[in-house]
Amino acid sequence: MRMDNMRVLITGGARGIGRAAAELALAQGARVAVWALHSESVEEVKTAVPAIHWADAVDVGERDAVERGVKKILEAMGPIDVLINNAGYTLTSRFLEEEPAYWERVIATNFWGAVYTMRAVLPHMVQRGQGSIVNVVSDAGRVGMAGEAVYAGAKGGVVAFSKSIAQEMARHQIRVNCVAPGPTRTRILESNTEDGDAEKLIEKMIRRIPLRRIAEPHEVAEAVLFLASPAASHITGQVLSVSGGLTMI
């Protein structure tokens, strides 16, 4: 599953699944660019993973910022071969207790972020007649999740959007797939609790997972990089669940 000299853009690439995907892509010979929301996160990942070729602070929920960010990568690295949309945002809360500003941020990051980034990258892939896109969604977007209703809706929207674009782009030899993680040990999971007791939440999740553990970021990243790589050259329009058997549909 080599990706020698392939140019890879990973959004939300400073931490968790995104950073694990960046490290794995580098190990496979790719040239990697990452985006993070904050400049502090950019500096953090540049220090932690110095082999990264490009790192920038980009809010994927802002279309102009995405277009500027893609232009910078094209100038610095050349055409993007692989796009991994990993940026995401959610909190655990009850729908009737949430404010519209929260919904807007969730939808902007999780749904519009994928739309804007794909719209900026796809014309260049079409011009070259090749490319691969992997959108990191969530099993919440496939089966629903109490406490994450708007997030689940946004991720479900990305699934439908991805399948539609996969159909449109197939004639250009551009593949579009999704990876749907279940509970994964990331900073978001460990901080996304109402009472601050992350381990209590994780233990509750583990009791529902047939493999009796949550995923580590590198395990999700392996699935992402498989679908992104030439090893999955005849796979498009698919959603791969990485949930330890939590969802089996």
Q: Select the more confidently predicted residue: 22 or 212.
A: 22
Q: What is the mean pLDDT of the chain?
A: 92
Say yes or no to pLDDT of 82 above 90.
Answer: yes
Secondary structure (3-state) at 175: strand
Region 110-131: mean pLDDT is: 98
Catalytic center residues: 151
The Cβ-side half-sphere exposure at 37, using a 13 Å CA radius, reads 14
- CA diameter of the chain: 50
Q: Residues 7-242: name the CATH superfamily.
A: NAD(P)-binding Rossmann-like Domain (3.40.50.720)
Scored b (16 or more CB within 10 A) or e, 141-152 reads: bbbebeebbbbb
Cα-Cα-Cα-Cα dihedral sign, residues 222, 223, 227, 230:
positive
pLDDT at 190: 59
**Which residues is 174 bridged to in the sheet?**
131
Q: Where are the domains of the chain?
A: 7-242
Residue 102's pLDDT band (cuts 50, 70, 90): very high
Give the pLDDT band of residue 78 (cuts 50, 70, 90).
very high
For range 210-225, the mean pLDDT: 91
For 24-69, what is each residue's pLDDT tens digit?
999 999 999 999 999 999 999 999 999 999 999 999 999 999 999 9
> Which tokens hold the place of 226?
């498989």
- Give the pLDDT of residue 196: 55
- Other CB atoms within a 10 A radius of the CB of residue 90 amount to 23
pTM of the entire structure? 0.93
